[in-house]
Amino acid sequence: MSIIGGIRESFRLPDLRRRILITLLLLVIYRLAANVPVPGVDREFLAQVLSPESNIGAFAQVLDLLSGGAVSNFSVIAMGVYPYITASIIIQILQPVIPALEELQKEGQRGRDKLNRITYFAAIPLAAFQAVAQVNIFGSGSAQQIIPGFGFGANSDIIATISVIAIMTAGTMFSIWLGELITEDGIGNGLSLIIFAGIVARVPFSLTQLVSTSPTTAIRNSLLFIVMTVLTVVVIVVVQEGQRRLPVKYGKRVRGTKMYGGGSTYLPLRVNTAGMIPLIFAQAFLTFPAVVANFFINTPGFLGNMANSISTVFGSQGGRGTGGQIAYWIVYFALVVGFTYLYTDIMIRNQNLADNIQRNGGFIPGIRPGKRTQEFIQKVVSRITLVGALFLGLIAILPGIVQIIMNLIQPGSGLEVRSAMYIISGGGMIIIVGVVVDTMRQLEAQLVMRKRDTFIR
């Protein structure tokens, strides 16, 4: 069965058709909410902040990506599901440190439900804190505010400030709730689909801007966009689906008069276990100096000059100079590789693969169960993660490489090329490919449960 045939067959089954329609309806609701602005937003000042020439333009692009395009309108869901993602990462990092969280992880589905509840509660204060930070960051380095009167100072409107924080926090929890509804009653991972829908929704508008220039520039940028998109998708699919399969054998166990177990299987270790999380960490870490420097730009003397230089280099992706751009993208590449190793190590340790294999009576041939098996798995993961880390690093800096090359060939054309490359960034492309593949697999699993043919080759 082909993919088109599989989708057609899905709509013929009442239960599966209901799941698909629920998913589409919830995504439409989210996109409608993304166009409801926070009360009191200065739209003209927001447009200046989101422009590529802005000192925090790169940071705003990351926030816009994670919110599904809601930041461009500074809507009530401008923070998207990012506070929940941050809370989830914090909980994962704390599990090896706090024994109580580690015990919950080992309790099965009941323990995971408790961890999810803790993550929800942790997301609320994080959302409130990020609401304050986001409003202040967008107005840093300027006497103007994106929401006039926001703050807790003498000349601030306290009631309006509390209202904005409450509205943005509620918008984040509403987004998380929609994502959970999609996961439970729809098809695919709800949080991933929400981000996916936002990225795809921005593509038509970005393409319109791309071809609205002169005919020669429009043709060049369009061809560049098509070629780079196709190559990026092919590379992402190959690497994302790549895995190292460790053979695992299970011994036979006798219980009463019956014999259980036996046979062989494999443990799949993915080349890119971390997904796009390292890209988020690296971009946020790289733009943090610019965010801090924006508070001191108007300071006279050496401090103001240094803050202006830091803001230019880190906030606008290296500025206009080739040297600054090369330094920026090299640091970005190094951070992506480093965070890939860090996050992969945390995820593998939290999964307790060696203990789970030993508990089920399994072993890796030639490796002693227990500590030796854990060390062997860590060694294999470290080797294959090198490929995944280099892959993520190259995907992250691909727009910068093209921008620098075009600036050397034709000075001044790099900014236009970067705009063409950022119609769908490397991180956005990883999300799109990952969500499409995961959703198609879940759709295929639903069809197989109903005794239909598979359609993924």
Instruction: Write out pLDDT tens, residues 90-131.
Output: 887 787 788 888 788 777 778 888 888 898 899 999 888 888
| Residue 8 lies inside a defined structural domain of this protein | no
Shared domain check, 407 and 266: yes
- Residue 139's pLDDT is what? 64
Shared domain check, 275 and 134: no
Mean pLDDT of the chain: 76
Query: Is residue 371 pLDDT above 70, yes or no?
Result: yes
- Residue 167's pLDDT is what? 92
Shared domain check, 270 and 163: no
Shared domain check, 147 and 80: yes
Query: Is residue 422 pLDDT above 60, yes or no?
Result: no
55 vs 406: CA distance, rounded Å: 22
**What letters, b where the CB count within 10 A reaches 16 and e where it falls short, cover 176-207?**
bebbebbbeebbbbbbbbbbbbbbbebeeeee
| Residue 451 lies inside a defined structural domain of this protein | no
Shared domain check, 172 and 247: no
Q: Three-state SS for 103?
A: helix
Residue whose C-alpha is closest to residue 47's, from 146, 160, 188, 116: 146
Q: Please tell me what DSSP assigns to residue 315.
A: I
CB 86 within 8 A of CB 48: no
Listed in sequence order, the DSSP H helices in 51-147 are: 57-66, 82-94, 99-105, 109-138
Where a domain ends, among 186, 221, 251? 186
Residue 324, number of CB atoms within 10 A of its CB: 17
Mean pLDDT of 260-269: 75
127 vs 133: CA distance, rounded Å: 10
132 vs 226: CA distance, rounded Å: 39
372 vs 353: CA distance, rounded Å: 12
| Residue 354 lies inside a defined structural domain of this protein | yes
Question: What residues form DSSP beta bridges with 37?
Answer: 75
| Residue 443 lies inside a defined structural domain of this protein | no
151 vs 145: CA distance, rounded Å: 10
- Residue 166's pLDDT is what? 92
- Residue 16's pLDDT is what? 83
**Structure-block tokens of residue 338:** 């480093």
The better pLDDT of the pair 398, 175 is held by 175
Phi, psi of 452 (to 5 degrees): -105, 165
Angle between helices 215-241 and 190-210 (to 10 degrees): 160
| Residue 22 lies inside a defined structural domain of this protein | no
pLDDT tier for residue 441 given thresholds of 50, 70 and 90: confident
Shared domain check, 377 and 288: yes
CATH value at residue 375 = 1.10.3370.10
pLDDT tier for residue 170 given thresholds of 50, 70 and 90: very high
- Residue 387's pLDDT is what? 86
Tell me how far CA of residue 49 lies from CA of 94, 98, 142, 320, in angstroms: 35, 40, 10, 18
Query: Is residue 29 pLDDT above 70, yes or no?
Result: yes
Q: Which residue reads 């590789």 in tokens?
A: 337
Give the least confident one: 47-61, 152-166, 270-284, 335-349.
47-61
Mean pLDDT of 348-364: 79
Shared domain check, 259 and 157: no
Shared domain check, 275 and 154: no
- Residue 124's pLDDT is what? 92
CA 246 to chain centre: 28
Mean pLDDT of 268-273: 84
| Residue 124 lies inside a defined structural domain of this protein | yes
Where a domain ends, among 186, 215, 234? 186
| Residue 360 lies inside a defined structural domain of this protein | yes
Where a domain ends, among 166, 186, 206? 186
Shared domain check, 181 and 268: no
CB 240 within 8 A of CB 437: yes
pLDDT tier for residue 233 given thresholds of 50, 70 and 90: confident
Instruction: Write out pLDDT tens, residues 184-230.
Output: 888 888 877 887 887 777 777 667 766 666 677 777 777 777 777 78
**Percentage above 70 pLDDT, the chain:** 75
| Residue 259 lies inside a defined structural domain of this protein | yes
Shared domain check, 266 and 171: no
Tell me how far CA of residue 352 lies from CA of 162, 312, 374, 375, 378, in angstroms: 43, 44, 8, 11, 11
Query: Is residue 141 pLDDT above 60, yes or no?
Result: no
**Residues spanned by the domain of 304:** 242-424
Total domains, the chain: 2
HSE-CB for 100 with a 13 A CA cutoff: 3
**Structure-block tokens of residue 13:** 């089954």
pLDDT tier for residue 457 given thresholds of 50, 70 and 90: low
3-state helix, strand, coil in the chain (%, to 5): 70, 5, 25
181 vs 190: CA distance, rounded Å: 7
Query: Is residue 324 pLDDT above 80, yes or no?
Result: no
Query: Is residue 164 pLDDT above 80, yes or no?
Result: yes
pLDDT tier for residue 453 given thresholds of 50, 70 and 90: low
Shared domain check, 415 and 274: yes
Shared domain check, 265 and 139: no
- Residue 260's pLDDT is what? 60
Instruction: Write out pLDDT tens, residues 37-66.
Output: 888 888 777 777 776 556 555 566 666 665
